Amino acid sequence: MQEEKEWYQSWFESPYYDLLYKDRDQEEADMFIHNLVTHLAPSKNALMLDLACGKGRHSIALNRMGYNVTGVDLSQRKIKAAKQHENSSLSFEVHDMRMPLEPNKYDYVFNLFTSFGYFDNEEENKVVLTNVFNSLKSKGIFILDYVNGERASKYLLKHEEYSLEGVDFSIYRYAKNNVIVKEIKIKDGVVECSFTEKVNIFSETKLKEYITGCGFEVLETFGDYQLNKFIAKDSDRLIIISRKP
């Protein structure tokens, strides 16, 4: 009997995921990375990891700025697409973030665009952060970019429908048990299918508890891609910069 896949394994591998989020463009990634790099001022020989890199748009942006970058993601399909951009200082590989990374290797680890907290088991989420901690050199920097779930759950667009390239999407959102759930129903000609997305609602306090519990020192918190101050009731993002002692 075949083991049932988790929602993220099925949805992230689907071409409908790319279609639905096709407006997540390289320009937005370039802007965010430019702001981060300007603020963090990494040395030119810094080694960087983009954890849960998807098709690699943030990895590509970092590499264009002159850095040596490795991007990893669970999705074989996304890594296959990302590998088209590989060069001598940019590489991609399939990796489950719950599995250990090479220890004491990286100067910077980026986990961007709400690519954390996929797992129902709290311990698995903590393992991810422990793996990041262990993969960083001493004084290494971890950048976690997460949705401000507390605000997002209050302003959920509960239902929307639209068509993209002849494919009909019907999307339902609701919050339950500190999780924002998005149910996506798809009609593509005679093909009908459905997928689920789940995002854990983590407060600033909870995420910082996770991070410091793994040994990190929290340095700064921002609320958007322009790196403005985080304000719980107003900010769209929760961006936490922390350091390994």
* Average pLDDT, integer, range 170-198: 95
Domain boundaries, the chain: 7-148+202-243, 152-197
Residues 6 and 94: their CA atoms lie apart, in Å, by 17
Residues 201 and 218: their CA atoms lie apart, in Å, by 20
Question: For residue 2, what pLDDT band results from cuts at 50, 70 and 90?
Answer: very low
pLDDT tens string 22-69: 877 678 889 999 999 999 999 999 999 999 999 999 999 999 999 999
Q: CA neighbours within 13 Å on the CB side: how many for 68?
A: 10
Residues 198 and 4: their CA atoms lie apart, in Å, by 17
Looking at the chain, the whole-number percentage of residues with pLDDT higher than 70 is 98
pLDDT tens string 79-135: 999 999 999 999 999 999 999 999 999 999 999 999 998 888 889 999 999 999 999
CB neighbour class for 235 (10 Å; exposed up to 12, middle 13-18, buried from 19): buried
pTM assigned to the model: 0.94
State in words which class domain 7-148+202-243 has. Answer: alpha beta
At residue 3, the pLDDT reads 52
Mean of pLDDT over the chain: 94
